[in-house]
Amino acid sequence: MCYRYDGTFEGFLCAVAAHLESGGTEGEFLRPGVEAGAGLFAGDSRDVATERATALRFRVRFVTAVSREAFATLRYAFHSEAAGIERLLLRYVELGLKEGRRVQHMLAKEPVCSVYRLSRRVAHEAHRFTGFVRFREVAWPADGGLAGGDGRDGPAVSLMYARIEPETDILPFIAPYFRERLGDRPWMIHDLRRSALALCYRGSWRLVSGVSLAAQPGYTAGEELCSRLWRSYFQRMAIPERHNPRLQQSLVPLRFRAHLVEFDGVE
């Protein structure tokens, strides 16, 4: 049987739950945007609706049978978006339900080993981006009064806006971190690769998918000044006698630099 789901983690859990319920032996999964291969089950497919309650029930079942840590591993690994991740995770789930707590210790065996590696990769990238996200203050609303009416309600409001292009889907992991830290003001983190957005407003956050910018954000005057100060501080902190660009590049690979304020116009 081939399960079509909406591509979210919740949707995936619902699909797994449906598969386990059906008692079938082989399961394949299709997310939107991925072409159905001419696999064994190409003709036999089923749409799975995403229901929060079903996903939560499955979570309780898995955590009770295995552990919280194993569920966290599953969640991180899912967001790696690796090819064939769903089938790998299905094997992990099935093994977990059979073996119980032991499964998270079976690091030398498949599929645990691969799942563990992928989950570490995502967790590592999420941690990296807790440092690499750069918020920039943009005037909001962009044209001076779209949402608020005629602009007499008070001074122009600003918004902190950040762009990222991570290799894995880390928004669900970093959004709560930044909500706790900077949730007193509205902010957005825009994943350009996935056209997704985490936005935080009045202390709570949510994900929005299928986002595109209607216009380039306009930075406030304070933003221009602050980023200039940061760039000059950044350059000053390097000790010339210790110059070591190779080490720097292994720590800040080039792919991250496009959205790092301090690397703007720096070799």
What is the sign of the dihedral through the CA atoms of 32, 36, 41 and 42?
A: positive
Place of tokens 């928004």: 171
How far is CA 149 from each of CA 144, 145, 187, rounded to the nearest angstrom?
A: 9, 6, 21
Nearest distance from C-beta of residue 242 to other proteins, angstroms:
4
Nearest distance from C-beta of residue 47 to other proteins, angstroms:
33
Which residues make up the interface to other proteins (CB under 8 A)? 102, 105-109, 113, 117, 121, 127, 130-137, 160, 162, 177-178, 180-185, 203, 222, 226-230, 232-248, 250-252, 260-262
The amino acid at 183? G
Q: Which is nearer to other proteins, 196 or 226 (CB)?
A: 226
Q: Which is nearer to other proteins, 142 or 252 (CB)?
A: 252
What is the rounded CA–CA span in Å between residue 182 and residue 189?
12
Enter the tokens of residue 151. Answer: 């602009």
Enter the tokens of residue 16. Answer: 């797994």
Q: Which is nearer to other proteins, 58 or 205 (CB)?
A: 205
Nearest distance from C-beta of residue 186 to other proteins, angstroms:
12
Q: Which is nearer to other proteins, 74 or 174 (CB)?
A: 174
Give me the numbers of helices (H) and strands (E) for the chain, helices first please.
9, 8
Nearest distance from C-beta of residue 75 to other proteins, angstroms:
19
